[in-house]
Amino acid sequence: MTEEARALGLAWTDETPWTVLTALTELDHRLAGHEGARRAAEITADALREAGARDVHTDQFALPVWTRGGCSLRVTQPTDREFEGIALPYSPAGDVAGRLVDVGYGTEDGFEGVDVADAVVLASTDSPPGGRLVHRMEKYGRAVDGGAAAFVFYNHRDGQLPPTGSLRFGREGEIPAVGVSTETGDWLQEYADRGGEVALSVDARTGPGEGTNTQGALGPDTDEEVVVLAHHDAHDIAEGALDNGCGVAALVAAARVLADLDLDTRVRLATVGAEEVGLQGASALAGSLDPESVRAVVNLDGAGRYRTMRAFCHGTDHFEGVLETVSDDTGHPIEVRDTVHPYSDHWPFLTSGVPAVQLHSVTPERGRGWGHTHADTRDKADPRNIREHGMLAALLVRELAGEDEAVPRPDADALRDRLADDGMRPGMEAAGVWPENWG
């Protein structure tokens, strides 16, 4: 029996990844900068040590820590009615009263010709059918730029599930913002059509604090390395099982396979904090490494959630061939997309000139599904998907670590042109994430 067959055979029934997911989802919450996020880093550190990684340790990084308080939302015209809402991370505290203005998907077209000055802007979590995904931060940024007084973000998925999600990357937002369910959003859209007005109150605070990353290593001490990472933080309104407990569990599964394989290049294993509030942990990790020493980054944000793996190559065609090799050798389909987006932990590396691939999952519907809602709980996860994605990730990493040729470095101008051609630049500028000094 080959070492690969033995390692994969052991992984097939390995209960450790599910045990890690269970430990993460048992925490009160894992919001960045809070105790649960620190404990999550320790849980993953213990799992990496058990897997056989060396030099396992945690690192702290400075972080603006957001803490949730109370929230209220009341329609005052044309009726008097209160609705449930939750503050969105990095929302400032504040009390606002104003007219409701519905901007639909929150695209440029949705805001065009609409007076949102001093208004409470209402936008859907959904994106236009057949078009690109329009991120929450983009919609919020357009509301801010238009002089809105507040922002209300309503879910497009049924089930009385108000959505959450950070408004800015690593800093407090400009205007109060809340998430509401699709059912509440339906009422608010009607009241907006009838000239409705609302009163909104948010109690929250942002202050200095720390986030935590975990690191360990496998393979020889070489000048080059492959970095494998997943974020262990989650929003405080749910267990964070899918986003991103499954990704962390898949990373642990991959580490346990890689520990039994001969590697030609060092593999740095990391779980990072504060992804959900602006990729802060990944930025700290990227800033601590020499980008020229990183052969490639494999980001497991989204891996292990559903049956079939999906890979985003972020402008590096080389990954497509490696992924095809892994898929052919294992008989497991991997859906490959040449997508470039800035909303996960590969981004700080990509903008530093490091080739990065994100391993995700083919989702049953467009958008986040259960993610960023109260329903992101462990029962939605499947240990088989976690194990299999962990094995596929391990084989991908081994291929990248064993290649004689270098993985081509991303070209900053080409990536910038690609984002512009895909219509991403206006939205990224509205969200405040367009890189002015790139590459």
**What pLDDT was estimated at residue 404?**
84
- For residue 5, what pLDDT is reported? 83
Residues 197 and 224 occupy one common structural domain: no
432 falls within a domain: no
Is the Cβ–Cβ distance between 408 and 414 less than 8 Å?
no
Of 183, 207, 231, the last residue of a domain is: 207
**Residues 301 and 398 reside in one and the same domain:** yes
What is the predicted pLDDT for the residue at 364? Answer: 80
Same domain, 112 and 252: no
Q: By C-alpha distance, which of 89, 122, 85 is closest to 201?
A: 85
**DSSP annotation of 242:** I
Considering the domain architecture, whether residues 285 and 150 belong to the same structural domain is answered as no
Neighbours of 284 (CB within 10 A): 21
- Residue 140 domain flag: yes
Domain boundary among the residues 140, 173, 207 is at 207
Question: Which among 115, 304, 292, 74 has a CA at the least distance from the CA of 202?
Answer: 74
DSSP, collapsed to helix, strand or coil, labels residue 244 as helix
Confirm whether 154 is domain-assigned.
Answer: yes
> Which residue carries 């020499």 as its tokens?
290
- Dist. CA 171–CA 63, nearest whole Å: 9
SS3 (DSSP) at 177: strand
CA distances (Å), 71 to each of 79, 91, 150, 172, in order?
20, 11, 13, 17
Average pLDDT per run of 10 along the chain, which is 439 residues long? Answer: 83 95 98 98 98 98 97 97 98 98 96 97 94 93 98 96 96 98 98 97 98 98 97 98 98 98 97 98 98 97 97 96 96 95 96 97 82 96 98 98 90 90 90 79
| Among 182, 207, 232, residue at a domain's last position | 207
Predicted pLDDT of residue 275? 98
Domain span at residue 147? 66-207
- Note the pTM of the prediction, 2 decimals: 0.96
Distance CA 31, CA 68 (A): 10
Inside any domain, residue 84: yes
- Do 45 and 56 form a contact (C-beta atoms < 8 A)? yes
Q: Do residues 104 and 219 share a domain?
A: no
Q: Burial level of 432, CB count in 10 A (0-12/13-18/19+)?
A: middle
Quick one: 197 and 276 in the same domain? no
Residue 17 domain-assigned (yes or no): yes
Q: Is 257 helix (H, G, I), strand (E, B) or coil?
A: helix
Clarify whether residues 246 and 362 are in a common domain. Answer: yes
Shared domain for 74 and 106, answered yes or no, is yes
Measuring CA to CA, how many Å separate 96 from each of 70, 214, 431?
14, 40, 22
Which value, to the nearest 10 degrees, does the dihedral of the CA atoms of residues 312, 315, 317, 319 take?
Answer: -40
pLDDT score recorded for residue 363: 87
> What is the domain-level CATH number for residue 369?
3.40.630.10
Residue 297 DSSP one-character state: E
On whether residue 355 sits in a domain, the answer given is yes
How much is the pLDDT for 131? 84
Confirm whether 436 is domain-assigned: no
Domain count, the chain: 2
Question: Are both 101 and 135 inside the same structural domain?
Answer: yes
79 part of a folded domain:
yes
Q: Are residues 249 and 196 in the same domain?
A: no
Whether 239 and 378 share a structural domain: yes
